[in-house]
Chains A and B, each alone.
Chain A
Amino acid sequence: GESVGLHLPTLSVQEGDNSIINCAYSNSASDYFIWYKQESGKGPQFIIDIRSNMDKRQGQRVTVLLNKTVKHLSLQIAATQPGDSAVYFCAESRGYQKVTFGTGTKLQVIP
């Protein structure tokens, strides 16, 4: 069945270092992936997306990598800042239908 899982529940990173958040998905038919950031007390916010015909996509300080061979997705945050502290979710979809979320990774930035 469809499932999206994360390897690490909590990630602590020194301010200024790069962060890498990983995500595994099980549905090989998934063709669209999104990363969301959820700050305390708020709804999730879109960070970046990638379609299955791509391996890499870059945004402002963020990069998403997709490895379809091993069904793995990662979010890289460059020069991590205190404002990056949040819970990060990967989400997947197939055929522009419903969106399924993973369990989340909490990113803690150490000043």
Chain B
Amino acid sequence: DADVTQTPRNRITKTGKRIMLECSQTKGHDRMYWYRQDPGLGLQLIYYSFDVKDINKGEISDGYSVSRQAQAKFSLSLESAIPNQTALYFCATSDWTGGVSNTGELFFGEGSRLTVL
């Protein structure tokens, strides 16, 4: 089983619909992230959370919301989907504390491909 699991893996929806992408992890990491990837572009940070009570906006948070239900679960919602939110969405986790023996490696899920018609 994957350490970072995203559901659904693929979703096609219509403009105006509410969509939730879910992420769960078995790595025991406190830090969780949601990124968006558009074709030919890098990953843009949507939201991130460093623990259950901590939620932070990233570079492109408008039109998105998140919920950190537990240490292992971090959900991304599109309240009213629009076509330009068509993209590949990645959840990632990290246990980064900045210590010498600790890296800032992000562990990614397989991605959720969302198409908004």
Could you list which residues of chain A lie within 8 angstroms of chain B, going by C-beta atoms?
4, 9, 32, 34, 36, 41-46, 49, 89, 93, 96, 98-104
Contact = CB atoms under 8 A, between A and B. Distances in A.
Nearest to A51: B100
B6 to A, nearest CB: 9
A43 B105 contact: no
A45 B111 CA distance: 13
A2 to B, nearest CB: 9
Given A44-B108, A46-B103, A49-B103, A102 B56 contact: no
Contact of B48 (A49, A89, A98): A98
Contacts of B98: 96
A51 to B, nearest CB: 9
A43 B92 contact: yes
Given A49-B103, A49-B104, A42 B43 contact: no
A43 B97 contact: no
